[in-house]
Amino acid sequence: MSIGSVIIWLGTVGLTLYASFRTREPAREKSAQWLIVAGGIVFPTVLLAGLLSYGLSMLPDMLAPAPPDSMRILVRGEQWWWRVRYLAADGHPVDLANEICLPVGTPVEFQLESPDVIHSFWIPALGGKVDMIPGRQTRLRLEPTRIGEFRGVCAEYCGTSHALMGFPVLVLEKEDFARWLKRQAEPAHESTEPLAARGKHSFLASGCGACHTVRGTPADGVVGPDLTHVGSRRTLGAGLLANELDDYVHWLAHADTLKPDVHMPAFGMLPPPELRALAVYLESLQ
Ligand code: CUA
């Protein structure tokens, strides 16, 4: 298509230059008609029909069911983050958020949903983008062929913080991936550090558990991202901040200004030592 469009572009520019500089006399009616019919009607019709049938011929491949050994991952676009659920073969789903790990050389099928507005799921380095449409499930199949860290984004304007919903995608060796998924499936690993324990107390006392789940604790909310292993993730706030202590404090105190219109309220009213303890607790959830 690129080569074809360059040839057509050169032809068009050539004709324009020819018409502008070479011919001083008006074209004969006959040849003008011929040019319009051939170049303006027949040529584009044949060319576009060819491209259309080529595009349609690829469709059955894209709509066919995923190979049986595919990994299935359910992703929901939220306001403005990503709910991620690994649909394991043994029937026990693994919930996480805002980060996706994939085993290299394994076909993956993403099942894409949205509860309210249209988002578009896109990992430019790995595959095409597919809209997440409320009321239906769309699918994206891909197979990562090289190890590395990539970035996924939302590619459909979905509201104020549309540009602030990114997610890292890590393609790992199969063994590393299996280890990672096993760990993600486990309940939270509690830290024995006093400050983390104080943070946990504050987390539960401040009502964070009404929106967030930390498996293995009374926190079982499903409004916001699952935080069971939030400390192990590359980023905080869906690709917004690094996963560092200071970033947790910053996020907790100013979530509403860092990500306008986010559902998460800011907890700037908490005294700084308590914010610090909360940050230590969250970062300890590896
Ligand atoms: Cu979600 Cu744009």
DSSP string, 138-204: EEEEE---S-EEEEEEE-S--STTGGG--EEEEEE-HHHHHHHHHHHHSPP-----HHHHHHHHHHH
Task: Give the Cα separation of 174 and 71 in Å (integer).
Answer: 12
Phi, psi of 210, deg, nearest 5: -70, -25
Q: Whose CA is nearest to atom 1 of ligand 1?
A: 119
Q: What is the pLDDT of residue 171?
A: 97
Task: Give the Cα separation of 38 and 98 in Å (integer).
Answer: 53
Task: Give the Cα separation of 254 and 247 in Å (integer).
Answer: 10
Residue 156 Cβ inside 6 Å of ligand 1? The answer reads: yes
Q: Give, for all 286 residues of the chain, the pLDDT tens digit.
A: 889 899 999 999 998 998 888 767 777 888 889 989 998 899 999 999 999 999 888 777 767 778 888 899 999 999 999 999 999 777 789 999 999 999 999 999 999 999 999 999 999 999 889 999 999 999 999 999 999 999 999 999 999 999 999 999 999 999 999 999 999 999 999 888 999 999 999 999 999 999 999 999 999 999 999 999 999 999 999 999 999 999 999 999 999 999 999 999 999 999 999 999 999 999 999 9
Q: What is the pLDDT of residue 180?
A: 96
Task: Point out the ligand 1 atom lying closest to the alpha carbon of residue 132.
Answer: 1
Q: What is the pLDDT of residue 137?
A: 94
Edge-to-edge, what's the strand order for the sheet holding 71-77?
94-97, 82-87, 71-77, 108-113, 138-142
Task: Point out the ligand 1 atom lying closest to the alpha carbon of residue 165.
Answer: 1
Q: What is the pLDDT of residue 39?
A: 87
Task: Give the Cα separation of 43 and 237 in Å (integer).
Answer: 51
> How far, in Å, from the CA of 165 to the mean position of ligand 1?
7
Q: What is the pLDDT of residue 35?
A: 86
How much of the chain is in helix, strand and coil states, percent to nearest 5?
Answer: 40, 20, 40
Residue 165 Cβ inside 6 Å of ligand 1? The answer reads: yes
Q: What is the pLDDT of residue 23?
A: 66
Select from 55, 98, 132 the least CA-distant residue to 241.
98
> How far, in Å, from the CA of 3 to the mean position of ligand 1?
33
Residue 119 Cβ inside 6 Å of ligand 1? The answer reads: yes
> How far, in Å, from the CA of 57 to the mean position of ligand 1?
30
